[in-house]
Structure 1
Amino acid sequence: METRITQLFNIDLPIVQAGMIWNSGWKLASAVSNVGGLGLIGAGSMYPHILEEHLQKCKAATNRPFGVNVPMLYPNLEEIMDLILRYEVPIVFTSAGNPKTFTPRLKEAGITVVHVVSSVKFALKAQDAGVDAVVAEGFEAGGHNGREETTTFTLIPMVREKLDVPLIAAGGIANGRGMLAAMVLGADGVQVGSRFVASEESSAHQAFKQVVVDAKEGDTQLTLKELAPVRLIKNKFYQDVQDLYKEGPTVEQLKELLGRARAKRGMFEGDLIEGELEIGQISGLIHEIKPAAQIVSDMMSEFRAAVGEFSSWKL
């Protein structure tokens, strides 16, 4: 299947596995790349020496293109970028920061640069910064999210109308029908996060994967907008946040409750009570933990079936 995204990344299928903190290590990234998608290592949860280990292992596990996702919320950015350059990572996704910060340096080294945005305004800023493609992520997505609360179904056609560079849709896409819908709306490919959390190769704790599989409609909520909006499973920690909101908390009080390493505690270490459990609304459509290759295969089968179904309509 050929689109502007497959051409840009030199891959077979327009499916990008999101680089999610605590979920997206070398095993998942290489598994997705090996079946023709684009796997991403999530550098946001990695100290530089850990990222270096994942880069080495990913290079050994696949000879296909893979990338690294770098959220600019986290420290050690210069060291991370130095590693990316040293290991000649072909593709970098940046997010949660100014795309002008690293795009020129990366592109000068021949790296394909993609930036993740949540609005038309930031999509245009990313394009002006010189990125090769943009991920437009809707409000449905898990993890850190945009403040605009624009849904994927609304965001993609609005961004497509204004953008010239290739567009990747994200947020609420977990099967072939969602993929087709996003591409009909104007996307050249899709980025999938939550579905790959519940994969065998995901580095998430098994207990967290099971929570994702068990999740139903309405089990997630966007919160902590005063700090950095994040979509969470409703557990005790989430309820503690809501109870604090009833008191009209200051930003400092919210920071104190959040503490440090709350996401690691939940998603990586499996503390389902006090941990931060980041996942998208589409978790209600995820019912089984599968190998990453099977997830990709199922998506493409569903996609082709949906194309065939709709092409048979008589207009």
Structure 2
Amino acid sequence: MKNRITEVFNIKYPIISGGMVWCSGWRLASAVSNAGGLGLIGAGSMYPEVLREHIQKCKAATNNTFGVNVPLLYPNIEEIINIIIEEGVKVVFTSAGNPKTWTKKLQDSGIKVAHVVSSSKFAVKCQEAGVDVVVAEGFEAGGHNGREETTTLILIPQVRKSIDIPLIAAGGIATGNGMLAALALGAEGVQIGTRFALTQESSAAAEFKNLCVNLNEGDTLLSLKKVGPTRMIKNEFYKQVQEAEDRGASAEEIKALLGRGRSKKGIFEGDLVEGELEIGQIASLIKDLPLAEDVVKSIITEFNASAKALSGISF
């Protein structure tokens, strides 16, 4: 399986694990890379020196390419970028900010850059900024989402028509059939978050993982829209946010309610009542907690079987 995504990142399969806060440490990133995909370390929940430690451990655990996901609004962004360059990381996925700011500096250091967007408009801006790859993420995804609330099914073909550079689809993809659908719509690879968050190597709390594999359709919804749309599991904290939003609370009030460390409390520490529990819609289809290697294998097996079955179909 060779295409522009596998060539840009020097990987076997065009499967990228999301750089998720409190889930994507060196164990998950190295496991995905060892399985032939591209594992990402999630810098969004790490202090600079913690990130350096995870990068060094990941280098020791895999000889394959791995990367780091960096929210560009990170308070220590310059220090983070310098650590990534110093440690010889080959791939960086950026999000939540202007890709023009750091893309050239990273590329001048031999790093391939992908940027995550939620609309065709911002995909074009990424291409103009010179990024190597665009990731288009539909609002089925967990965690922080675009305000447009465009689904992956609609977003991918629109972005494909808007740009010429390699395109990765994200949001609501967890299976080989999902990957096949994304590629049929014009993507050349997939970024998968929730499925890898719910694996043995994910650093999320066992309580969080066990809750997620028992979710049903409709158990996650977008919230925190005045601060930044975030897909969460409906729990007591979610109810508090919704009540505040329903009565017209200001963004400042919502931020005060959110406080600090709310997602750490829920995802990493396993507080299922007061924590911010971020996960994608696709969680309702996931009922197990396998090894990351087995996830990659099952995706490729199902993708190949479905592609073969569909190849002879015509109307």
- The aligned residue for residue 288 of structure 1 is 288
- The aligned residue for residue 138 of structure 1 is 138
Deviation at 1:75, TM superposition (A): 1.3
Note the 1:304-315 alignment, pairs <5 A: 304-315=304-315
- The aligned residue for residue 276 of structure 1 is 276
Note the 1:80-91 alignment, pairs <5 A: 80-91=80-91
- The aligned residue for residue 105 of structure 1 is 105
Quick one: distance in 2 between partners of 1:314 and 1:164? 29
**Deviation by residue 1:226-273 (Cα, 9 ceiling, x = unmatched):** 111100000100011111123210111101111110000000000000
Alpha-carbon contact 2:170-2:191 (below 8 Å) kept: yes
Quick one: distance in 2 between partners of 1:206 and 1:35? 23
TM (normalized to structure 1)? Answer: 0.99
Unaligned runs of 5+ in 1: none
Counterpart residue identity of residue 206, structure 2: Q
2:163 matched to 1:163? yes
Aligned with 1:260: secondary structure? coil
Quick one: distance in 1 between partners of 2:233 and 2:177? 24
Identity percentage of aligned residues = 62
Deviation at 1:305, TM superposition (A): 1.2
Alpha-carbon contact 2:142-2:230 (below 8 Å) kept: yes
2:6 matched to 1:12? no
- The aligned residue for residue 228 of structure 2 is 228
Note the 1:147-296 alignment, pairs <5 A: 147-296=147-296
Aligned with 1:187: secondary structure? coil
Alpha-carbon contact 2:99-2:129 (below 8 Å) kept: yes
2:88 matched to 1:116? no
- The aligned residue for residue 50 of structure 1 is 50
- When structure 1 is superposed on structure 2, of 183-192 and 207-216 the one drifting more is 207-216
- How many residue pairs get aligned? The number is 315
Aligned with 1:73: secondary structure? coil
- When structure 1 is superposed on structure 2, of 273-282 and 304-313 the one drifting more is 304-313
Aligned with 1:113: secondary structure? strand
Deviation at 1:211, TM superposition (A): 1.2
- When structure 1 is superposed on structure 2, of 100-109 and 71-80 the one drifting more is 71-80
After the TM superposition, which parts of structure 1 deviate over 6 Å for at least 4 consecutive aligned residues?
none
Counterpart residue identity of residue 226, structure 2: E
Quick one: distance in 2 between partners of 1:72 and 1:99? 8
Aligned with 2:196: secondary structure? helix
Quick one: distance in 2 between partners of 1:258 and 1:166? 36
Question: RMSD value over aligned CA atoms?
Answer: 0.7
Deviation at 1:312, TM superposition (A): 2.6
- The aligned residue for residue 75 of structure 1 is 75
Deviation at 1:81, TM superposition (A): 0.4
Quick one: distance in 2 between partners of 1:262 and 1:241? 12
Quick one: distance in 2 between partners of 1:314 and 1:250? 54
Unaligned runs of 5+ in 2: none
Alpha-carbon contact 2:226-2:250 (below 8 Å) kept: no
Deviation at 1:162, TM superposition (A): 1.1
- The aligned residue for residue 28 of structure 1 is 28
Counterpart residue identity of residue 116, structure 2: V
Counterpart residue identity of residue 240, structure 1: Q
Quick one: distance in 2 between partners of 1:232 and 1:72? 22
Deviation at 1:309, TM superposition (A): 1.6
Aligned with 2:114: secondary structure? strand
Quick one: distance in 2 between partners of 1:125 and 1:108? 20
Quick one: distance in 2 between partners of 1:312 and 1:188? 22
Aligned with 1:116: secondary structure? strand
Counterpart residue identity of residue 154, structure 1: I
Aligned with 1:53: secondary structure? helix
Counterpart residue identity of residue 234, structure 1: K
